[in-house]
Structure formats: structure tokens, C-alpha cells
Chain A
């Protein structure tokens, strides 16, 4: 359904007090595919890149952003004007916070409006909204609250409800599990997973690896603004199967797998190296890694961008 090839995103900003604009690279050569009925998770380094990916697909980047690369949705190119048309009805976003809802309208009105934009009839919108409330276990009184009055878990469910009543075929969930406890995380993700069984596609952007492994069908590993590996969740059960050194390091850094730190920093903007983005921290770095970016290689039904694979 969604195919992204070599996506690059940079911002032009003024450096400090200067009068010249310099480009700040955030994403480079990003690749991912989300098929119908599939949940794909993007995991990896926290920081600017991942959320901006969602904004790039929806066409809601700030004016000083420059986007290159191919985005294909349902077989045809996703141009800026098409993004504007299908935003909210074919592709929907489950944003990070309730700040994206209209703060002056009650929850009920917010969701009803999203449903109305989808169905075009107030009556149908009302029915869809009630269905959504039932489905996501939202009590009636929640409808009367204003967005800022919602607690963490409830807010999550309202945001997911708003995205689903829009009837979108692709749902992008941007860090949907922040601030939630284990049970709430499971609830939210289970709901998103159910959407895939209805034939929708879900792009899950998260730094919660465990949640991603539990629910996603495919995992894209994101670091330094680019994709380093695309693997299946099962591969993570046997770390030898992981293809990229970064993915392996990611695995061992989890508390239950050894809590092993790796020295160095996630590169950002002008600190992104010219060669392999993980080069400076990688235990297997050589001269080739310093100078050139690896190409995509297909290994064991997964993809990896590494000179050593």
C-alpha cells in the first residue's frame, strides 16, 4: 500500500544569528513498505527523525522543509496536492498528543467531525462515533470531556478512535505508547493490530522495542536518519539472525538482555557521517565504512544496509 524509496528530508535554517540559510539533514535514503493488512514498526534512535517521517507522508512539514525521494501510495505517486486531498480520509495520523485535537471542542465533537468528514452524513457519523466508543471501551461521559482533561490511557484511545472513524486505509501511529503503563500499551496496540485484520495498514513509529516486537509484522530499524535493517520480529528471538551490528547492539542494550551500553551518540543533522551512519560506534568498522554508504542487501527475507553483511 505504501512504498517509500530513498526518502530524504532536510530543513533550511539560519545558523544562530547568521543571515545565510544552511541545510540541516534529518532523513536520508529512507526505505520502507507497508502492505495491506500489515503493521510495520519503525524503531531505533530517538530524536527528530521518526516523527518527521509521519509529517512528511502527510504533507504537514513546516515551510522550510525540503523533501526528496519517492512515496507511492496505493500504486500511484503521492504528490503534495494528493497528500492534502487524502489527508484525514485515506491516511490518518494517531498523533503523539491530544494537542492535535481541537482544544475547544468536546471529545465527542472532535470524533464526530472526523467521522463526518468520512461519511458526509451527520447521522452516519453519529453511529460511527458510538461504535468507536464501544470498541475502544470509552465510557459515555468521556465524550463530554475536553481534550486536556483526558488522562494518558484514555487520550490514547480517543486519538486512535479519531483516526479510525476517518475510514483511512493507512494509519500512522506516532509514538502511541509514551507515558502508558504496560496494560495500557497492550490495549492500544491490540486495537491497532485489529485494524490490520480489517485490511488496513498501520505504520507504527515507536522507541518501545518490546511493543513493536509483540505486535508488528515487520520491523524497520532507523538510525542516523536512514534505514539500517528491515527484519521480522521472529529474528529478534535469536539475535544471531539479526543482520546489522546496530540492531544487535540495540538488542543487547535492553535491560533483560544485558543492559549493555555502547559508547557514542546518535548522530543528528550536521553530525551525520558521510559513510555508514553507524560507523563511528560500530565494533566492525573499517575504512570502507568510513567513506561510503552501504547499499541494500537482501538476506534471509530481510534487508540490511551494511558493508559486512
Chain B
């Protein structure tokens, strides 16, 4: 008798499994971070340039600092930067997008102008300017990313709500006696909620990479409380000297973190998008 004990997973189950797996990986990162104390971050000149395996898992750098500790702490720092920037820029985007679509033509014109203006400036330029002005560091990076990235999502949200405004059921809502505020809360915000969520999730990797880039250039985090970008920047000096573990592991860790968010975002999008929901 051929009894099938486990049925093949359908696309929705696969997506959910992917997202769960990614979340588990992220959780393990945090748990690891909490378990490791900061002694590895300190310098230990007796243990300089140790290759992976000789007493430390991922090797040590030129100041004897343990790479495993630095990478773990660095990833978490990158994650925090990512989450604050993503939430910050997405919130700005929703507020601006909503305001543009709902508060009349004048407000819309101003917001549209702002969106175009911010979109037309290259990211790096704006990031460096803002971060430099604010003196770098965690605050500097987060605000810089928020300022340079809100416009993309805002444009999408503004377009969505403008299109929604003309639909029959919104007009009917007014005729049924509902106020503008009620309609914004009960019709418009829920409508953009999935866009918002997906925009937020996909903003993570973007923000993390920018933070890494800024720190790499020296405008972001400082070496004592590193994020991955700092680690990569420092390792550049050592590329030709053969200490490969100083660049490889931080780079791979960054790619892995970004990929995790990418997978979460794509699968969430597939599960929420009405067109692909039922596959």
C-alpha cells in the first residue's frame, strides 16, 4: 500500500516556510549577540592577525580584536540602523503621500515638488551631506537614510491614494455621511497598508547597504561601535596582505543579512499581492 504521509507543499506554504526560516535566522543572530560579551571588541595585541581556527573562530584583526564578536555585533548594529531607517522613511512616506492626496491641490503641488526634488538628487550626495552635517554616528546615518529615501515610497503611496479617491466606493462613503477623517482611516490607510509593509521590508537591505557604504567612506559609524561597513572599510587596507578573513567574513555576513530581508520581502509580497495570492 502506498500511503503518502506528507503532502507536497503548495506555494503559500513554501513562502511561509521561507519567511519563518529567515525569522529564525534573525532571532539566532540576536540571541548570539546577547550571549557574546564585549571583551572580544577590545584590543589584545598579543593575538594579532590570527587566522580562523587558531583560538578564534573567524580570526582576529591587526589590533587583536576577535572578528566573530565584531561581525556579530556589527550585524546587529546594521540591523538596528536598517530598522530605524526603514520605519522612519516609510512613516514619512505615508504621511506625505496621504497628505498630498487628501488635503487638496495646493498641498499636493508642494508635496509633488518635494518628491521630485528629493528623487532627483543622487542618494550618495544627500547621504553624505546629511550625515556629515549631523556629525555621523547612529543618529547621522538613520536621519540621512530617512531623508534620502522617503520620496520613492511616497510617490507610490500618493499615486495609489489619488487613484483611490476617484473610485465609486469612496464617493459613496461620503454620500453615506462619512467624514474625510473617517474615510482616511477606514478606507485609505488600509488600502496602502500592504504597500507600506512591503516597502518597509524591502527598505531594510537598502538602508543597511547605504549605512555600510557611508561607514565605509568614513561618514557613518566609528570603529569602536562598528557596523559592517566599518569592518569592510578597515579590511580594505589589508586586502593585498593576505589576511583574507578580515574582508571575506564581514562581506559574506552583509550579503547574508541583506538576502534574508530580500527573501522575506519577496515572499510577503507574493502572499499579499492579490494577483499572486491564490497560486
Direct contact of A and B (CB under 8 A): yes
- Judge if B12 is at the interface, Cβ distance under 8 Å: yes
Interface string of A39-77 (1 = CB under 8 A from B): 000000000000000000000000110000000000000
Q: CB distance B279 to A19 under 8 Å?
A: no
Q: CB distance B13 to A19 under 8 Å?
A: yes
The residues of B with any CB-CB pair to A shorter than 8 Å are 10, 12-13, 16, 277-279
A-B contact pairs, 11 of them (CB 8 A): A13-B278, A14-B12, A14-B277, A19-B10, A19-B12, A19-B13, A19-B16, A21-B10, A63-B279, A64-B278, A64-B279
Q: Given the complex of chains A and B, what is the CA–CA distance between A19 and B12 in angstroms?
A: 7
Q: Given the complex of chains A and B, what is the CA–CA distance between A104 and B12 in angstroms?
A: 34
Question: Which A residues touch B16, using CB under 8 A?
Answer: 19
The residues of A with any CB-CB pair to B shorter than 8 Å are 13-14, 19, 21, 63-64
What is the chain A residue whose CB lies nearest that of B10? A21
Q: Given the complex of chains A and B, what is the CA–CA distance between A55 and B279 in angstroms?
A: 18
Question: Which B residues touch A63, using CB under 8 A?
Answer: 279
A269 CB, nearest partner CB in chain B, Å: 14
What is the chain B residue whose CB lies nearest that of A18? B12
What is the chain B residue whose CB lies nearest that of A63? B279
Question: Which A residues touch B12, using CB under 8 A?
Answer: 14, 19
Q: Given the complex of chains A and B, what is the CA–CA distance between A21 and B13 in angstroms?
A: 10
| Given pairs A19-B10, A21-B10, A64-B278, 9 additional interface contacts (CB within 8 A) | A13-B278, A14-B12, A14-B277, A14-B278, A19-B12, A19-B13, A19-B16, A63-B279, A64-B279
Q: Given the complex of chains A and B, what is the CA–CA distance between A21 and B279 in angstroms?
A: 10
Q: Given the complex of chains A and B, what is the CA–CA distance between A40 and B13 in angstroms?
A: 44
Question: Which A residues touch B13, using CB under 8 A?
Answer: 19
B203 CB, nearest partner CB in chain A, Å: 25
Q: Given the complex of chains A and B, what is the CA–CA distance between A235 and B10 in angstroms?
A: 50
B10 CB, nearest partner CB in chain A, Å: 6
Q: Given the complex of chains A and B, what is the CA–CA distance between A13 and B10 in angstroms?
A: 11
